[in-house]
Amino acid sequence: MSAVLETRQVAAGYGGRPVITGIDIALQPAEVLCLIGHNGAGKSTLLKTMFGLMAPEAGEVRINGEPVSGRSPREIAEMGVAMVPEGRGVFPSLTVTEIFALGMHATGVPKAERAERVDWVLGILPVIREFMHRPASTLSGGQQQMVSIGRALLSRPKILLMDEPSIGLAPKLFQDLLAPIRTLQQREGLSILLVEQNVREALKISDRAVVMKSGQMIWEGGPDELSDNEKLMELY
């Protein structure tokens, strides 16, 4: 099966200082791939490079076999990729309705489909309906994360990149948040690349895991293999 998203020997960094080097990752259709590593391992840099927020200094990123290095985030979004950024991916002064409207406008969702898309997301994350008209600044951390995921789903992506969605959330809330995403992955074949520090919780929903350290991949395998690897589990 060909990968929906892959990196080939990708290197990227800030101001000439490399953060990641020689990264080869392939995300398969309808797969949940968990990217694990400490702060500074280069996980977020890799996600930003995949989504066009950073240009790779070497190597290439491919989506459905097509090289996308140098394309803008909007162009990559139009190829069926969405990103839930690290932290709270919402604009505090905008209401949830406005965030959704802006998200759909930015990714070129046709006007005629927008109401239907919102209904679809509210069907997946029904709690959002309760605070659609509130500014994001008045929402709890969990509610903001839910809105961020909902906004990403509005473009009906085939590939979802999630950067540490568990930050600041209780494990139970994190699982509640991921459950509908997992359902979507199984029902609609969504491929998910999940960056997490909360390894035990992330592995519960992952099909495969990659461990990164100091900007390089140091391990790759199934979640059970990783759980059995005492040395790695102690580290992470």
Partner 1 sequence: MLAIQLAITGLQTGALYALTAVGFSLIFGSTRIFHFAHGATFVIAAYFFYGVFGAGLGLLPSIAAAGLGAVAFGVLLDRLVYAPIQRHEGSFFTVFVASFGVGIVVQNLIGMVFGRGFVTVNTPLSRSVEMIPGVYVSPLAWIAILCTAIFLGALQFFLRRTHTGMALRALADNPELVRTFGLNPRMIAATAFAVGSVLVVPAAIITSATTGLNPAIGHHVMLISLAATIVGGIGSVSGTMLAGLLLGLAESLALLVVDSQWTEAVTFAILFAFIIIRPAGLLGRATAH
Q: Closest CB to partner 1 among 17 and 231?
A: 17
Least distance CB 117 / partner 1 (angstroms) = 15
Q: Closest CB to partner 1 among 72 and 183?
A: 72
Least distance CB 80 / partner 1 (angstroms) = 12
Least distance CB 23 / partner 1 (angstroms) = 20
Q: Which residues bind partner 1 (CB under 8 A)?
A: 51, 53, 72-74, 77, 83, 85, 89-94, 98, 101-103, 105-107, 151
**150 phi-psi bin (left φ>0, alpha ψ -120 to 50, beta other):** alpha
Least distance CB 185 / partner 1 (angstroms) = 21
Q: Closest CB to partner 1 among 53 and 124?
A: 53
Least distance CB 89 / partner 1 (angstroms) = 6
Q: Closest CB to partner 1 among 54 and 232?
A: 54
Q: Closest CB to partner 1 among 21 and 95?
A: 95
